[in-house]
Amino acid sequence: MLKHFERGDDLSNFRSEAESKELNRKILTAATALFIQKGYERTKITDIAKLSGVPKSKILYVMNSKEEILGLLVTRFLDGVTSASDAVSKKLTDDQVLIFIANEVLQLYMAEMNEDMRNLYLSGYSMPKTSEEVLKRRTDMMYEAFSETFKNSAWNDFYETEIASMGIMRAYMTVPCGIYFTIEVKAKRLVTMLLRIYKAEDEKITEAISFIEKIDFATVAKEAVQSVFDELQIHTQNSFPKGE
């Protein structure tokens, strides 16, 4: 069926699904490399246009703003984290609380890969639109995990609680690991703090810490990042100039 075109429509803006997908990939690929190498704040739309080969006007037509590009990128990474985390944790348990905790710890490991990845994550957790997307996803997961425990609590109650929980997560991402504050110590502290918010018993916290010790998060994190990079056709060595 032929599409009806209104007067003034730009025929160049109507693309096939494959063309639109490839255009988005080019933009996200360039943006990812630049956000990681230069940081979100220092990256300009003109930089993305130059690296991607897509005119600035077309980028803004398709994605409206740099923050929207970051939002799409954050969504890709969150999807990758969830898939990778679920693939491992659901083989070990059907406990939604433990599945959520594994997801959180995996994000922590990804942010700890190097300073470039940490800054990319922190940008996603800080910008208004992207942080709202992260917050809603976290709320959905915690609502599913704890709705039976807090039967009188609505989704909005979890949303309001997750504002604090998300702040804790961002704080732990911000502080780099050291000789004594290792990633293993950080993960256990994070798990304890997140579960305390939901009034988890000590036994549950102990169970959660024992659970995360069964998973090789460092390997899963690298695989999750590589999966997103493969999808966007990004070469890892170019995207991580400082190395792992």
DSSP the chain: -PPP--TT--GGG---HHHHHHHHHHHHHHHHHHHHHH-TTT--HHHHHHHHT--HHHHHHHH-SHHHHHHHHHHHHHHHHHHHHHHHHTTT---HHHHHHHHHHHHHHHHTS-HHHHHHHHHHHHSHHHHHHHHHHHHHHHHHHHTTTSTT--HHHHHHHHHHHHHHHHHHHHS---SSS-HHHHHHHHHHHHHHHTT--HHHHHHHHHHHTTS-HHHHHHHHHHHHHHHHT--HHHH-TT--
Q: How confident is the model at residue 115 (pLDDT cuts 50, 70, 90)?
A: confident
Per-residue pLDDT tens for 30-88?
998 898 888 888 999 999 999 999 999 999 998 888 999 998 888 888 888 999 999 99
Reported pTM: 0.83
* pLDDT averaged over every residue in the chain: 86
Q: Is pLDDT at 237 greater than 60 in this prediction? A: no
Mean pLDDT in residue range 193-199: 94
Per-residue pLDDT tens for 197-212?
999 999 999 999 999 9
Dist CA 123 CA 111 (whole Å)? 11
Dist CA 77 CA 154 (whole Å)? 28
CA R_g for the chain: 20
Give the sign of the dihedral formed by CA 64, CA 67, CA 71, CA 76: positive
Per-residue pLDDT tens for 118-175?
888 888 888 888 899 899 999 999 999 888 889 899 999 999 999 999 999 999 999 9
User: Which of 92-96, 228-232, 239-243 has the least mean pLDDT?
Assistant: 239-243
pLDDT of residue 10: 43
Dist CA 76 CA 81 (whole Å)? 9
How far CA 60 is from CA of 65, 118, 219, 221, in Å, comes to: 6, 26, 37, 32
Mean pLDDT in residue range 213-230: 91
Taking the domains of the chain in order of start, what are their residue ranges?
A: 17-64, 69-232
Is the separation of the CB atoms in 208 and 191 below 8 Å?
Answer: yes
User: Which of 15-19, 62-66, 216-220 has the least mean pLDDT?
Assistant: 15-19
Domain 17-64: which CATH class?
A: mainly alpha
Give 167's contacts (C-beta < 8 A, 6+ positions apart): none
Dist CA 180 CA 157 (whole Å)? 36
pLDDT of residue 39: 85
pLDDT of residue 235: 66
Q: How confident is the model at residue 15 (pLDDT cuts 50, 70, 90)?
A: low
